[in-house]
Amino acid sequence: MKTDSPIYVAGHTGLVGSALVRTLRSQGYTRLLLRERKDLDLIDQSAVAGFFEKERPEYVFLVAGRVGGIHANDSYPAEFIYENLMIEATVIQAAWRAGVKKLLFTGSSCIYPKLAPQPIKEECLLSGPLEPTNEWYALAKIAGIKLAQAYRKQHGFNAICAMPTNLYGPGDNFDLKTSHVLPALIRKFHEARLAAAPEAVVWGTGTPRREFLHVNDLADALLFLMLRYDQSGIINVGTGQDLTIRDLCEIVREVVGYKGRIVFDSGMPDGTLRKVLDISRIRSLGWRPKTSLKEGIEQTYRWYCSTLQ
């Protein structure tokens, strides 16, 4: 991939897509093909095929999809499985037909079995039952992996699949119903501090463990893989470190400066109790995350506050 290669970033306005555009531009890539949903519906097969035939991208980052936290996944299963399945099938087919040189597809660590041995190796895929709250999304992403591997096997199509852990950073969704845990905690504690509320409510029991990767580090890893990885096997992207939701609350509380009580609502789902990734494969290629969790949360909180002005 050269700096003047035509590169299509599907999903460029989202958390991952916007970080990828920042990274590509900062690395001198000048021919980015970007289309907003209103201009190109990725579920519309003829529109997508037309776009690829006309624009002829050589490289594709397929980071578009319907995403959300545990409550959104559990509440909108039909939309999560349909939209993600359709986007993957439509873009991968059109990319192959139009002679794209290489496509990178992103999934999520929820593709792995709920009780996978930790840290989770790539080989654990399809070795046990999924977490029920996100099985719809997970199955759509697993189908995306198999699509990529099938097009490589039958057509020699160079599609690779990166499996990131839980992400956070600037450009995230801070809606308290549909977001992931980290932006939700930042917003809840921020609003509780402003309101001098005696307590803030957090979902679940606080005991689940999660791993968090700053989205700028993911964007860096995706460019790294697009330039250096050409295997059929999926590859994990994370930090290899996790913590309990209870400990995460303490870090966010400190960053936001909230002094009140944190109350856990065990009526809300915990989801998977642990899903930390084994990142030895990407490490062996020479990639390392750069952002510590504390730094990343401080930077994200500053960004969140800048959006409130």
User: How many other CB atoms are found less than 10 A from the CB of residue 4?
Assistant: 10
Number of residues that bind ligand GFB (CB under 6 A): 24
Taking CB under 6 A as the binding criterion, the range among 18-26, 33-41, 263-271, 301-309 that sits at the site for ligand GFB is 263-271
What residues contact residue 204 under an 8 Å CB cut-off, 6+ apart?
A: 245, 264, 265, 266, 268, 269, 270, 271
Residue 212 is a binding residue for ligand GFB (CB under 6 A)? no
Residue 18 is a binding residue for ligand GFB (CB under 6 A)? no
Closest distance of CB 227 from ligand GFB, Å: 25
Residue 113 is a binding residue for ligand GFB (CB under 6 A)? no
Map residues 120-159 to x or -, x wherever contact with ligand GFB holds by CB under 6 A.
-------------xx--x----------------------
**Inter-residue contact 120 to 275 (CB < 8 Å):** yes
Residue 108 is a binding residue for ligand GFB (CB under 6 A)? yes
- State the Rg of the chain over Cα: 19
Comparison of 201 and 227: residue with beta carbon closer to ligand GFB: 201
Q: Coil, strand, or helix at residue 86?
A: helix
Tally of residues, the chain: 309
Residue 213 is a binding residue for ligand GFB (CB under 6 A)? no
| 109 vs 145: CA distance, rounded Å | 13
Q: Look up residue 279 and give its two tokens.
A: 């990142």
Beta bridge partners, 32, equal: 7
Residue 73 is a binding residue for ligand GFB (CB under 6 A)? yes
Nearest to 237 by CA among 280, 182, 180: 280
For ligand GFB, the binding residues in 266-285 under the rule CB under 6 A are 268-271
Annotated catalytic residue, options 8, 29, 137, 229 = 137
CA 222, chain centre distance (Å): 11
Can you give the binding site for ligand GFB, defined by CB under 6 A? 69-71, 73, 108, 110, 133-134, 137, 166, 179-181, 184, 202-204, 208, 210, 245, 268-271
Residues marked as catalytic: 137
